[in-house]
A and B are shown apart, each in its own frame.
Chain A
Amino acid sequence: MKQEKNLKIGRRSFLKLTAGAAALSGMSLPKKSFAGTEQRLSTLIDLSLCDGCVDREIPACVGACKEINRDKIPQVIDPIPEPWPRKTIEDWSHKRDVADRLTPYNFIYVHKADVRVAGQAKTIFVPRRCMHCDNPACATICPFSANHKHKSGAVVIDQNLCFGGAKCRDVCPWEIPQRQSGVGIYLNVLPGLMGNGVMYKCDLCVDRLTQGKLPGCIEACPREAMLIGSRAAIEKAALSRAARINGYLYGKTQNGGTATLYVSPVPFEEINKTMIKKPGQPDMKMNVERRMVGTDALGKAVLAAPVLGLAAAAVVGVWGRIISRKEKAGREE
């Protein structure tokens, strides 16, 4: 804590920092720096500061998120159409108060990690939500482009376009998005045969950002354990904080890089040992590769395919002409 006070970089100072940078780059109003959401943003979660709000019924970040998104999901149809042939229905509409895991009605929760480091017991609280990856498979692989990464870095599911097929959850290394059946566009198409609801997850309060406001969880945190700012500023701060506390980073390289950087005084391997991966409760493995990276080389070849086809046509065409001229000359002889 002492170190944090010395650092003197708080939530509001980050706002100022960001606004100053925006002003220099031609943006006049501080709000616009978020409102435009053109600059890439990152968030920092400092686990040396988070105390899990143990004195509250639910952590402040979770409560704020719930409040902001209270009416986000429309009325769930009753009865929910039974999907065919696999009859999986995921209905959280009667369990909206659940706060200890991710659900369609709960985009952030706080994991309590009792760890032992250097023989000492320590409790670390880890807020968990979407990491907003740099190249998120959940978005790029969405068959309807309902899930999309914004210029700001926020990865946002448009609930009006999502069919709830849960592909995004399958390809997310942390299986973050959660499904609510019985809502969404699929009800207007073939609800029994295709689609199964809408996927929900943290959208970095993208609507609030466009209004120049902070994401709810960041604004509500009483300990300023969460920050948001320009990518460069957050990265610098995360590295600086980690260095000061001789701590550790998470989120910088995982899944090809993310817009969420955790700073922790204890190794994430130790934190991960306290996490048993379950639906809605992701773990924190260090080695999280971006699976789609393997497909990139082939994708680049696809982008070059027209040139390949053109070159082949030229080669074969010229070769054909040479052959036909030779044949013609042979016949004339």
Chain B
Amino acid sequence: MTDKILTQENRVVRHGAMELIEHWAIALSGLILLLTGIFELPVGKRYYIIDVPGLGWSADFITSLYLHYAAALVFTAAAVFHVFYHGLRGEKELLPRKGDLSESVTVIKSLFGFGEEPPMRKYLPEQRLAYAAMALIILMLIISGMVKTYKNIYAPDMSHGILLWATWIHNIGFILFFLAFLAHMAAIALRPNWPMVRGIFTGRVRLDYARHRHPLWIAGMEPEPQDPATVEEGEQQPLPSEEAPVMEETEEEDLPPGKPQPEEDKT
């Protein structure tokens, strides 16, 4: 757990360097997989993509396969690393919790002005559900992709039944992964989630934002002794959430309305 309050800087460490590397390894390799997966369909010539400068290779299925394999290597290794690394460390904050579904409904309703947003942990209930959904999609893609890769190299005459299952799981997984990516981008586009975007680039989010929207997360950290390197002697301890200072005291940005959306970050 790398989470840490940096009161002087008005920041909370939300993701450690390892988590950022995991996220971006999966994100970038996933995008390459999406693109080269599309180019494994006969679309390059038909849709004149080959005429786009720099995409002349889009109709060369073997070139796309090289790139697809290279990205799959990173994607698969990073996904397996993620599961075991955090599993061994006992970090389960992204796993769905009991009541996440109903709590998500409450949060979404609050987004439309019906009711209040409940106090949140480090991750929003939608994020935990979205994480589970994405994990399932990635699992589908990796296993089916492995079967297809094995077939390509060792067993072109493998059981057609197994191959058809793998193929369609891969194709459906591709569509779901693409939709999940769009939903991820849509979540980022929502104003209440903007403060979290900084977190996936720098690992840190604003402390006042976190106190306002993720009080259960902050409350879980505050009883802990502060790191002397980050908290000066005699410095005032952060206030409980209900006493949190309002945004305009610390940042130039407006306080977000506090309406969470799914899938802000994935690690």
Main secondary structure of the interface of B (DSSP, over half): helix
Partner of A166, one of B42, B48, B73: B42
Q: B37-70 toward A: CB 8 Å interface, digit per residue (1/0)?
A: 0001110011110000000000101100110011
- A317 CA to B82 CA, complexed, in Å: 11
What chain A residues lie within 8 Å of B142 (beta carbons)? 306
Q: Place the interface of chain B in its size category.
A: 35 or more
Partner of B85, one of A85, A140, A171, A313: A313
A298 touches B69 (CB 8 A): yes
Q: A124-149 toward B: CB 8 Å interface, digit per residue (1/0)?
A: 00000000001111011101110011
B153 touches A296 (CB 8 A): yes
Which residue on chain A has the smallest CB distance to residue B162? A145
A138-162 contacts to B (CB < 8 Å): 139-141, 143-145, 148-151, 153
Q: Place the interface of chain A in its size category.
A: 35 or more
Contacts A166-B42, A309-B84, A316-B18; A302 near B69 (Cβ below 8 A): yes
Contacts A299-B69, A309-B84; A167 near B42 (Cβ below 8 A): yes
Q: Does A117 contact B (CB under 8 A)?
A: no
Contacts A167-B61, A295-B152, A309-B79; A150 near B157 (Cβ below 8 A): yes
A310 touches B80 (CB 8 A): yes
Q: Does B163 contact A (CB under 8 A)?
A: yes
Partner of A301, one of B45, B62, B69, B156: B69
Contacts A296-B153, A313-B81; A148 near B59 (Cβ below 8 A): no
Q: Does A305 contact B (CB under 8 A)?
A: yes
Main secondary structure of the interface of A (DSSP, over half): helix
- A148 CA to B73 CA, complexed, in Å: 25
Interface residues of A (CB under 8 A from B): 83, 85-86, 88, 134-137, 139-141, 143-145, 148-151, 153, 165-167, 170-171, 196, 291-292, 294-296, 298-303, 305-306, 308-310, 312-314, 316-317, 320
Please name 11 further chain A to chain B contacts, defined as beta carbons within 8 Å, in addition to the given A149-B157, A302-B76, A309-B80, sorted by A numbering: A85-B47, A88-B46, A143-B42, A151-B157, A170-B61, A292-B152, A305-B77, A306-B77, A308-B80, A313-B81, A313-B83
